[in-house]
Amino acid sequence: MHRFEAYLEKNLPTVDSFHPHYNKALATMLLAGGKRFRPMLLLSVVEAYEPLLFEASLAPALSLEFLHTYSLIHDDLPAMDNAPLRRGFETLHITYDEATAILVGDALNTEAFYHLAKASLRDDIKIKLVELLARDGGTYGMVLGQSIDLHFENQPLSVEQIKTLHINKTAKLIATSLMMGTVIVGLEKRKQDEIYQFGIDLGLLFQIQDDIIDETQSDEEAGKTTGNDVDKNSFVNLMGLEKSIEEAETLAENLNQRFNAFDDVLQNGLRDIIEKYLYRHR
């Protein structure tokens, strides 16, 4: 983790400009912390199979953190979740203004692909990484999920529809984080697909856990605005807290079984991060 944090701080977007707070606004949410879950998934896969590619993989890992952070900034906007707190700090539209928050999100979105393009990897690998991140972080994934989420506020969906919503909004970017690692190290397609599907279900679990945290923790404990999902299609709103915890437990047990069937190299690489997040609903 410390190597990634050092790389992030060294590669914060900075511009020579007379704008009074542009650079600070770009850096604020990146430096505010966070789990770094997505970049850690990518780097853990790479370090497990091809540790000599770790340094070259820091740029793609950073691109994931940039894109994810842009999505949080936009999620918190008044037109979306209207949240005043993120990662324990004021959201950008509170600290500055709504226009600044929108533009910082736009900048971090494009900055993600700038770092992918500059990565010290083969061109064919970089092109594939761009494809995966654009697909699951954009039209066919995260943006679709957010659109469904916002459109159907106050309109209860079925369990399957909610799963579709959150597979797109949350799970696909988590799955792609793993998949990008498998592409960098050159795993065979069958194994890439298996790990991607594992990531989809891991991302779905991650969302159920977030819904549970939203219901059970304070703003200070969670480091973000909680109790803000009253009008949304969350698992807790549809199924209730007890059933949501049961769903999380069942999915976690299934993922644990699948994880234990992975080869020893992958298990060793991912064990710390999986053990940390698999049962965080408890």
CATH of the domain at 140: 1.10.600.10
What band does 232 get if pLDDT is binned at 50, 70 and 90?
confident
Based on the structure, what is the number of domains in the chain? 1
For position 37, what pLDDT does the model report?
Answer: 96
What is the chain's mean pLDDT, rounded?
94
Q: What is the pLDDT of residue 222?
A: 58
Residue range 42-80, pLDDT digits in tens: 999 999 999 999 999 999 999 999 999 999 999 999 999
Instruction: Let me know if residue 77 belongs to a domain.
Output: yes
Q: Token pair for residue 96?
A: 């500055």
Q: Report the pLDDT value the prediction gives residue 5, as an integer from 0 to 100.
A: 97
| Whole-number percent of the chain with pLDDT over 70 | 95
Residue 27 within a domain: yes
Domain assignment present for 155? yes
Assigned domain for 60 exists: yes
85 bridge partner residues: 90
What number is the average pLDDT over the span 140-145? 98
Does the pLDDT value for residue 180 go beyond 90?
yes
Q: Is residue 144 part of a domain?
A: yes
pLDDT confidence bin for 227, thresholds 50/70/90? low
Residue 257 belongs to some domain of the structure:
yes
**What's residue 111's pLDDT?**
98
In this prediction, residue 282 carries a pLDDT of: 81
Q: Has residue 98 got a pLDDT over 70?
A: yes
Instruction: Assess if residue 224 is contained within a domain.
Output: yes
Answer for the pair 87, 158: CB distance below 8 angstroms, yes or no: no
Range of the domain at 66: 2-277
Number of neighbours of residue 204 by Cβ within 10 angstroms = 23
Is 282 within a domain? no
β partners of residue 89: 86
Distances from the Cα of 49 to the Cα of 40, 46, 80, 263, 272, angstroms:
14, 5, 40, 11, 16
What local confidence, expressed as pLDDT, does residue 1 receive?
A: 73
